[in-house]
Amino acid sequence: MNAPEPNPFTKKRDRIQILGLNRESMLKYFFGGNASLAIVVLSLICIFLAKEALQFFPSHHRGLQLYRLSGQEFVDYLEDESRQHKKAAGYLARAYYGEINASSKREQGLLVAYEELSERLERETSKEALLFNTTFENLLDLQFEIEDSESEEDGAESFDIEAAKAEVTALTTRLEERRRTLRERKTDALKDPGMRELDSPISLSETEFQNIAEAIITTDPDAEDDAPHIQELNRTIDDKKAAAEAEYQDLFTQLEAFRAAGRPLDELIGPLRDHARTTKERAVAAETLRKGKEALLAGAENARDPERRAEFLADAEAIELEEVPYDELNQIFYDNIDAHHAVTSQMMRDLEQLGSQVVASGQTTIAQTNLSRFREELPELLTMLGETNDKLKAWRHDTPFPFLPSVLAFFTGKDWVTNSSWHDFYGFLPLFTGSILISLIALIVTVPFSVGAAIYVNQIAGWREQNLIKPVVEFIQAIPSIVLGFFGIAVLGTTLREVSQLEWLAWVPGFPMQERLNVLNAGLLLAFMAIPTVFTLAEDALNNVPRSFTEGSLALGATKVQTILRIVVPGALSGIIAAILLGFGRIIGETMVVLLVAGGSISLPDFSEGIGVITQPVHTMTGIIAQETGEVDQGSIHYRALFLLGMVLFSISLLINYSAQKIVFKYQLAR
């Protein structure tokens, strides 16, 4: 029996070998090598990131130790009292001025409308206004020349006055023509319905709009005074404010007395702050000299050339190190503890008395809100004044700053202050809070839209709708984030703020919005960016539900909706959750949009606003890294703080993706 002939293609493949490897082996090692290289590169990135990030903590600890040694910690205890006092005074001031401004709210709204409409008409009639102004300036110049010539004895010989006067007459006629043309152009421009859509805080009646329009039309660019109607508005505002100031004189007196109660504390802080700053500068200079001397000695030790070594040693010998006398320099702080106690004791008595005299409520919503906050802040201020006295008595400049609290100071810190002339603070909390707030808003919008769209496309829509909806949704991923950022600045933010000004929406928390760049703006844009990711993955999860489940449910008499809600969605729930988690990872890692539209405020949001907190500006971890990385010195504590933020962000993203993969894996095993 003859043996079967070998496959000719196999023989050909086996003959092609390089270094003993055939084609299959080369492909195997090529792709395996690429995977190994990717793992190595990723590992190196993680090692470098961790190396730079973890060096932050020793530097931060040394900085906090110097912060205590120099007395800055002592001064900041006092500064916290002063800031809390000014915060309470600010609420009282806003209540007072809220009442004053409310007295002429209508008239001020009319002035805002007048100014906005004037600016619009200036743009619409810029050509006619330029011709009018040019003619007016030429007329003035010529009149001045005539006056100068008439005042000189030889004026008739050097200047033709009669011809100039004739030219003045011609220019005057031309000026009147251009004045008439300018007014006609303004009148025509006002016929555009869009001119009535103003950002005024009040709604204008037809009569009010016509009065404002008439004032603008009759006021020429060369007019020195406003139109009579506008002058009357200003007089009315002044009269109403004067009447309101007289009515709320008691509240103003209490405000001034409240501010005056804190002045002795500010006077005490000033010299102490200057002394602490000088002490720190002296300590930093001494530390710089010490490091310089150590560097020269290390250079001498490593130098092979004897002359070079001698030069290093001579330079090191020339440096005289200073031992900073911290005990002596900090004595001023201990000496002022009793003075601080006397000042704050008197301050507490004054504030308690003033607090009992402040009116219980105001007439306007702004006044009521701020007076309520003032009453909440005052007990906290009084408590802080008492606690600070105890802190100062227990404070010692030579007490070592523990390492663990210095680590926690980063994760619980509420301030991110860099390049400060006082002290740099690196607080993670406001950046983390900003990232989480924006991500939550984005998820609240993304999940129902994307999951709902995935269910509709996968279970209900016909093939024509599927071919339309899926490409459109997935096309969103092709839009550059910088373009969405510009859209958020120019369109979405402005629109949200204009809508928030509507009086019938004043009941919405956070309305009217003070800032157009805020959490809500950034959250909506990130939701728009995350919808394709969640939509695609959720639809894949729905596709993975066995068709037999659906067919069995329908065969038992269930409706299409019942089958979707009770069979398909629960069966794909793990995959949908994984899709949401991956969408969350996409959201929290976005940089450009939040950098442009989140507002850039590095402070904790005011959660006393409730849900209105979403209209406040914030900053994020990704935004601060992108904003400051290019400006820091390599190897500085600021540089390492940004790397630490990056490592935290990397860890959060890794945890989110790991959780999503575990859920998907569990879902696959369950199948």
443-670, which class in CATH? Answer: mainly alpha
Token output for 604: 């904790």
Token look-up 């829509």 returns 461
Q: Which two tokens stand for residue 137?
A: 């300036």
Residue 1: what pLDDT? 46
Could you tell me if 59 and 637 are in contact, meaning their C-beta atoms sit under 8 angstroms apart?
yes
Q: Which element (helix H / strand E) includes 499?
A: helix 493-500
Contact 623, 594 (CB under 8 A): yes
Q: Under a CB-based contact definition with an 8 Å cutoff, are residues 104 and 237 in contact?
A: yes
Q: With a cut of 50, which residues of the chain have pLDDT below it?
A: 1, 9-13, 155-156
Please enumerate, as own/partner, the contacts of 45-48 that have beta carbons within 8 Å and a separation of 24 or more.
46/650
Q: At what angle do helices 105-124 and 206-217 cross, to 10 degrees?
A: 50
Q: Count CA atoms within 13 Å of residue 466 on its CB side.
A: 12
Helix (H, G, I), strand (E, B) or coil at 599: strand
Predicted confidence at residue 519, as pLDDT, reads: 96
SS3 618: strand
Helix (H, G, I), strand (E, B) or coil at 492: helix
Nearest by Cα to 608 from 492, 510, 463 = 510
Q: Token pair for residue 469?
A: 């909806």
Q: According to the model, what pLDDT value does residue 668 have?
A: 60
Which are the contacts of 179, defined by CB distance < 8 A and separation ≥ 6? Answer: 132, 220
Query: Both ends of the chain: CA-CA distance in Å?
Result: 50
Q: Dihedral sign, CA of 476, 481, 485, 490?
A: negative
Phi, psi of 100 (to 5 degrees): -65, -50
The position carrying tokens 């890692």 is 589
- CA-to-CA distance for 503 and 109, rounded, in angstroms? 13
Q: Which two tokens stand for residue 39?
A: 């793992």
The residue type of 76 is: D
Q: Which of 516, 576, 565, 506 is nearest to 540 (CA)?
A: 576
Per-residue model confidence (pLDDT) at position 4: 55
User: In sequence order, what are the residues at sequence separation of 6 or more whose Cβ sits closer than 8 angstroms to the Cβ of residue 141?
Assistant: none
Query: Rounded to the nearest 10 degrees, how much is the dihedral formed by the CA atoms of 145, 148, 149, 155?
Result: -140
C-alpha 383/C-alpha 81 separation (Å) is: 10
What is the model's pLDDT at position 41?
A: 86
Q: What is the average pLDDT score of the chain?
A: 88
Segments making up each domain of the chain, as ranges:
19-54, 70-399, 443-670
Amino acid 11: pLDDT: 45
| pLDDT score for 205 | 85
What does pTM read for this prediction? 0.80
